[in-house]
Homo-oligomer: A and B are copies of this chain.
Amino acid sequence: MKPLNIAILGCGTVGGGVAQILTQQKDLLSKRSGREINLKFIAELNPEAAIKRFSLDKKYFYSNTKQVSIEEILNDNDIDVVVETMGGKSDFVHNTCLNVLKNNKHLVTANKALLAERGSDIFAEAENRKLQLGFEAAVCGAIPIIKGIKESFTGDIIESVSGIMNGTSNYILTQMQLQNLDFSEALKLAQQNGYAEADPSLDINGGDASHKLILLTKLAFGKKISMDELSVVGIEDINTNDMDFAKEINASIKLICLTKLKDNKIYAMVRPMAVKNDNTLSNVNYAVNAVRLDNKYSGTHFLIGKGAGSTETAMSIVSDIVFIARHHEVATFNEEDKYVLGDAKEVCFPYLVSFKTKNLPGTTGLITTCIGRQGINIETVGHNRFSGETADFSIETDECCLKTIEQAIEDIKRENKDLLLQEPKILPILY
């Protein structure tokens, strides 16, 4: 069989890592693939820096002494697979990915923002042309959840997909919990240790996790959702008090992605949740990611591993290349888009609700009465941290939907408009 020829667009941390594995492990990968895996070209704006940084041969970057361009790669009929590691969701990257497919080449990418926000025509183009679109690296790095759904749990019916899908926020939350740091200290530490970008907003506001959840919702349930449709709360407002309230009920706070099918509706959300210590997710710490599947026939599964990192992401891309080599023709995996998107506020959880109030007698009575009026049972009222004028405490409720909790809070405000010193924080509790 002819070699599988690869080109890489963009030789930064991830693209360079892919080039290194493809060249250093060429024999092993070729054996596993049943055909030669051959890196042919790399298109990179600054080839000399990349050659030095990754100890790569000049020949990948130059063709007849001319620097290899994206156009040359697109027009090269000898190239079978293009790896896009430029990143970003610009028109340029979007069009380049489409053109890869229009030139009948398989596409492999780790670009979750592009696929989640502007991916529809890219997926459609791949499907129409019976080309493969490898994106294992786009969702939780090296965790094999994409192939898990497409190739391993195909005999099952997925009922929900959930988990910890952003390593940066998990690193921050873990430091807050285990080292008693406040949010800004933990964020700083994450930046110092290379776990957060200089601009960390997409990681801490749930945006990055949302991209992954959108891709998983499409894959598991066939349901396309947009960023606007998704119910998202980030971790920016979590403070040491919240950590403490969670500890009090034997839980730790994690940024949880959840998408589930119930009564023909899809419910999807990204929110900080209080995860009880018995739940495996509660012990997934630092930059580790975890995906939980709840399946009709095979029950609960966890896949836990590094969600990001250059070699992890690069490995995942290389595995997609080997997969394409092993399986040149694959039936499209495309679950029918037949479900309606439900209101995430209708999903029932027990809740941990934390209050900062004036320190007045009768406060607990008023708040618990308002909660009870909505038909919500109270599990525990936590230890009250009085400090002069203010009181901080939390309430653990039995299962109810978010709407009723929000109504109870409105009711509290109606009863005494000055009592609450800040908007109560409402964390779903995961058992």
A283 to B282, CA, bound (A): 11
A234 to B377, CA, bound (A): 48
A29 to B333, CA, bound (A): 11
Residue contact B298 to A142, C-beta cutoff 8 Å: yes
Indicate with 1 or 0, residue by residue over A304-326, a CB within 8 angstroms of chain B CB atoms. Answer: 11100101101111111111011
Having A154-B323, A155-B321, one finds 16 other A-B pairs with CB under 8 Å, namely A29-B155, A32-B331, A32-B335, A35-B331, A142-B156, A144-B148, A147-B152, A151-B151, A151-B326, A152-B319, A156-B318, A295-B315, A297-B311, A297-B312, A301-B304, A301-B306
In the complex, which residues of chain B have a beta carbon less than 8 angstroms from the beta carbon of A148?
144, 148, 152
- Given the known A-B contacts A155-B29, A155-B321, A326-B331, are A299 and B306 also in contact in the complex, defined by CB atoms under 8 Å? yes
Residue contact B28 to A157, C-beta cutoff 8 Å: yes
Enumerate 24 A-B pairs (CB-CB under 8 Å) in ascending A order: A25-B157, A29-B155, A31-B336, A142-B156, A142-B298, A142-B301, A147-B151, A151-B151, A151-B319, A152-B319, A154-B323, A154-B326, A156-B315, A156-B318, A280-B283, A280-B284, A298-B311, A299-B312, A300-B305, A301-B306, A302-B304, A304-B304, A326-B327, A327-B330
Q: How far is the CB of A384 from chain B (nearest CB, A)?
A: 31
In the complex, which residues of chain B have a beta carbon less than 8 angstroms from the beta carbon of A300?
305-306
In the complex, which residues of chain B have a beta carbon less than 8 angstroms from the beta carbon of A306?
298-301
Choose among B34, B295, B305 the residue that contacts A302 (Cβ–Cβ < 8 A): B305
Residue contact A312 to B298, C-beta cutoff 8 Å: yes
In the complex, which residues of chain B have a beta carbon less than 8 angstroms from the beta carbon of A144?
144, 148, 152-153
Number of copies: 2
Indicate with 1 or 0, residue by residue over A27-42, a CB within 8 angstroms of chain B CB atoms. Answer: 0110111110000000
Asked whether A416 is an interface residue with its Cβ less than 8 Å from the other chain, the reply is no
CB-CB nearest in chain B for A317: B155
CB-CB nearest in chain B for A314: B297
Residue contact A155 to B322, C-beta cutoff 8 Å: yes
Q: Which are the 4 A-B pairs with shortest beta-carbon distances? A: A34-B331, A155-B318, A144-B152, A142-B298
A236 to B300, CA, bound (A): 29
CB-CB nearest in chain B for A323: B151
Residue contact A322 to B283, C-beta cutoff 8 Å: no
Within 8 A of B (CB), among A199-217: none
A8 to B315, CA, bound (A): 38
For the side of the interface on A, what is the size category? 35 or more
A31 to B86, CA, bound (A): 34
Chain A positions within 8 Å of B, measured between CB atoms, are 21, 25, 28-29, 31-35, 136, 141-144, 147-148, 151-157, 280, 283-284, 295, 297-306, 309, 311-312, 314-323, 325-327, 329-333, 335-336
CB-CB nearest in chain B for A311: B297
Residue contact B299 to A301, C-beta cutoff 8 Å: no
Residue contact A33 to B331, C-beta cutoff 8 Å: yes
A391 to B147, CA, bound (A): 54
In the complex, which residues of chain B have a beta carbon less than 8 angstroms from the beta carbon of A320?
155
Q: How far is the CB of A114 from chain B (nearest CB, A)?
A: 21
CB-CB nearest in chain B for A21: B155
Q: How far is the CB of A19 from chain B (nearest CB, A)?
A: 13
CB-CB nearest in chain B for A299: B306
Residue contact A280 to B304, C-beta cutoff 8 Å: yes
Q: How far is the CB of A32 from chain B (nearest CB, A)?
A: 5
CB-CB nearest in chain B for A303: B303
Interface centre among A25, A147, A305, A316, by most B CB within 10 Å?
A305
Residue contact B157 to A322, C-beta cutoff 8 Å: no
In the complex, which residues of chain B have a beta carbon less than 8 angstroms from the beta carbon of A335?
32
A332 to B327, CA, bound (A): 11
Residue contact A315 to B29, C-beta cutoff 8 Å: no
CB-CB nearest in chain B for A20: B297
